[in-house]
Chains A and B, each alone.
Chain A
Amino acid sequence: MMNERAIRLFLRLYVGCIFVFVFAPIIASMIFSFNSDRFPTIPLGSFTWHWYETVYNDPDVWDALRTSVIVGVSTAILSTFIGFCTAYSDFRYNFRFKGAYLALALLPPTIPLVIMALAMLAWFSRIGVSGQVWSIVMAHTVMCSPFAMAIIRLRLQQMDSNLEAAAWNLGANQWRTMREIVLPFAKPGIISALCLTAAVSFDEFAVAWFVSGLNKTIPVVVLEIVTGNIDPQVNAIGTFVFITSMTLVIIAQIVIMTQEKKEKQPA
């Protein structure tokens, strides 16, 4: 039917337009990062590594990168640990107030970043830990552990809960069962949670901006450059951050997919 085909074509074009809109700023920023004009427009200027060199020679950026890596790695480890504990509790146990428990665990992403930032800033200065690298880690862990919990919970969902009981019957205590059965099973979930939480922390700017004090992370440096003026350095940093985050995301994706494939193969 002509009508049906026309509608299909229209919908496809529409989806195409949406993707153009979503990816235009990402791709544009990559192109601009190699473009010689300070204020890029059409037609483009010549190809240059200038902005990357500027960034590379900027000691502030290196300091920020160091802070970002410390924060990202610490946040990933802490929030994945907490996320695993929560996911396992939810998987294994029923208890009173479980609804409230899960709400407490999953609520942070629904609070606007500015509000979290203000609340954290005030709280950290009240308890005397403001302006340190660790204050960013504590705040980021709150924001990242729900993601870790969700990813690991999905993985545990695939585990037969009789597996644990079988191990106990064979004489293993609960701790040993955790070490030899549950943890190995959850491993792909844990690895992807580590990658994704690191990526989220690596990109977060609002809370980091409020609580970091002098220990700026990369996104905070970007925020400050953007506030100053038009500076294509931002595109160079942005492209670098994008590649880092995407590497983490793709590693997470590959870990999950290889595991799925392995499990589908008959033993």
Chain B
Amino acid sequence: MADKKHESTKPVKRSIDIYALTWRMPIIIWQFLFFVGPLIFMIAMSFFLVENYRMVEAFEMKNWVKMLGRNYFWDSYFYTLGLASAATVLATVLAFPASYALAFKMSETARRWAVFFLIIPFFTSYLVRTFSWYVILAESGVINAILSYVNLGPYTMLNTKFGTMVGYMTLTLPLVIILQTLSLSQIDRNLIGAAHNLGCGRIRTVFTVIVPLAKVGLIIGAVFCFILSFGDFVSPYYLGGSKPPTLPIMIIDTTKSGQQWPRAAVVAVMMMVTLFSVAFAAIALAYRKRSQ
């Protein structure tokens, strides 16, 4: 679009190319060297062998057969998949009323401030926040101390799925609310008014008008939540107790202690394949034309 406007004032053709390439090339070079390169090398590495604690370049299916033939891999795989899916549903459901309130029931200024405050967590250490939850949720921690005043508990919250979920929500909820709020605030208010005028109740309006209109934003929020929780090792490790380990924890253990980089690469490739399938399926769902 900008190109066309500039065509009439076209300087010497040759210099345009050098100029254009100067701006275009840095990211291409950088990403190929340090992003695409590493990822492709990791895929290749999943076929390497380890002999006497040294990696040997090869093309063997050994690591794949070994990893995919073990139950503990598949246990971990489905456990991680289950946790991430649960986190996605939970975050989407928990975020929606808040995003709805921010988008429809608050002033422009209040919404801006809310979004600003929701961005703050991205700039605080996720590790420190997790550590904080660890202390808050512990057997003798803050929550149980408060509950003991009313003669409740103590409840075990650490090293449970609940603990993992608290961590996942800490990681994902602010982002999901921001994405949902942005897509909800773009809805034409007249459509909601029209629905009300036509006698559509509040709840029904939400599900038949608002949710379909904000579908793309809701699904993108959910996809990000899935990607983040599927790939997170901090919450399942520190708050979930790592029993059984999730896939990211398995990658770390295999890499850090076992010298088995190729096997860790197998796990990583399986994770990438899963993530891409989920993301593509979700995007297809988001942009599917409604049959009507």
Q: Which residues of A contact B (CB under 8 A)?
A: 7-8, 11-12, 14-15, 18-19, 21-26, 28-29, 32, 39-42, 81-82, 85-86, 88-89, 91-95, 101, 104-105, 107-108, 110-116, 118-124, 126, 138-139, 141-142, 145, 149, 161-162, 164-165, 168-169, 173-175, 199-200, 203, 205-206, 210, 219, 222-223, 226, 230, 234-235, 237-238, 241-242, 245-246, 248-249, 253
Least CB distance from B263 to A in Å reads 11
- A29-B129, A85-B22 known; A238+B98 contact, CB < 8 A: no
Q: Can you name 20 A-B residue pairings with CB atoms under 8 Å?
A: A14-B97, A18-B94, A25-B130, A25-B170, A92-B2, A92-B23, A94-B1, A94-B2, A95-B20, A110-B275, A112-B230, A116-B38, A122-B41, A123-B34, A141-B34, A161-B6, A173-B15, A238-B128, A245-B123, A249-B119
- A28-B142, A223-B127 known; A113+B2 contact, CB < 8 A: no
Partner of B105, one of A11, A118, A205, A253: A11
Separation of A86 and B21 alpha carbons in the complex (Å): 11
**Considering only CB atoms, which chain B residue lies closest to A237 in the complex?**
B128
Separation of A25 and B130 alpha carbons in the complex (Å): 7
Cβ B272 vs Cβ A111 within 8 A: yes
Cβ B135 vs Cβ A85 within 8 A: no
Inter-chain contacts of B95 with A (CB < 8 A): 18
Main SS class of interface, B: helix
Cβ A249 vs Cβ B123 within 8 A: yes
Cβ A104 vs Cβ B127 within 8 A: no
Separation of A39 and B95 alpha carbons in the complex (Å): 32
Cβ B170 vs Cβ A86 within 8 A: no
Separation of A124 and B37 alpha carbons in the complex (Å): 10
Separation of A165 and B231 alpha carbons in the complex (Å): 46
Q: 17 additional contacts, CB 8 Å, given A42-B146, A205-B125?
A: A21-B170, A22-B170, A32-B132, A86-B27, A89-B23, A92-B23, A108-B31, A112-B228, A112-B232, A112-B275, A165-B6, A174-B11, A205-B126, A235-B131, A242-B124, A245-B123, A248-B123
Q: Which residues of B contact A (CB under 8 A)?
A: 1-3, 5-6, 8-9, 11, 15-16, 19-20, 22-28, 30-31, 33-39, 41-42, 45, 94-95, 97-98, 100-102, 105, 114, 116-121, 123-136, 138, 140-142, 145-146, 169-170, 173-174, 177, 202, 227-228, 230-233, 238, 248, 251-252, 255, 261, 264-265, 268, 271-272, 275, 279
Cβ B233 vs Cβ A42 within 8 A: no
Inter-chain contacts of A113 with B (CB < 8 A): 231
Inter-chain contacts of B24 with A (CB < 8 A): 85-86, 89, 93, 95, 101
Inter-chain contacts of A210 with B (CB < 8 A): 255
Least CB distance from B36 to A in Å reads 7
Least CB distance from B234 to A in Å reads 8
9 cross-chain pairs, A with B, having the tightest CB-CB distances, nearest first: A112-B231, A238-B128, A25-B132, A123-B38, A11-B101, A119-B38, A25-B129, A42-B145, A119-B42
Separation of A116 and B233 alpha carbons in the complex (Å): 13
Separation of A145 and B140 alpha carbons in the complex (Å): 43
Inter-chain contacts of B102 with A (CB < 8 A): 15
Inter-chain contacts of A173 with B (CB < 8 A): 11, 15
**Considering only CB atoms, which chain B residue lies closest to A135 in the complex?**
B34
Inter-chain contacts of A88 with B (CB < 8 A): 23
Cβ B36 vs Cβ A104 within 8 A: yes
Cβ A226 vs Cβ B127 within 8 A: yes
Inter-chain contacts of B98 with A (CB < 8 A): 11, 14-15, 18
Separation of A86 and B20 alpha carbons in the complex (Å): 11
- A11-B100, A15-B102, A22-B174 known; A104+B27 contact, CB < 8 A: yes
Separation of A81 and B6 alpha carbons in the complex (Å): 24
**Considering only CB atoms, which chain A residue lies closest to B118 in the complex?**
A22
- A141-B30, A161-B2, A226-B127 known; A18+B38 contact, CB < 8 A: no
Cβ A238 vs Cβ B136 within 8 A: no
Cβ B169 vs Cβ A168 within 8 A: no
- A22-B174, A24-B136, A40-B142 known; A14+B101 contact, CB < 8 A: yes
Least CB distance from B49 to A in Å reads 14
Separation of A219 and B124 alpha carbons in the complex (Å): 11
**Considering only CB atoms, which chain A residue lies closest to B31 in the complex?**
A104
Partner of B6, one of A8, A111, A126, A164: A164
Least CB distance from A239 to B in Å reads 8
Inter-chain contacts of A219 with B (CB < 8 A): 125, 127
Partner of A115, one of B30, B94, B251, B279: B251
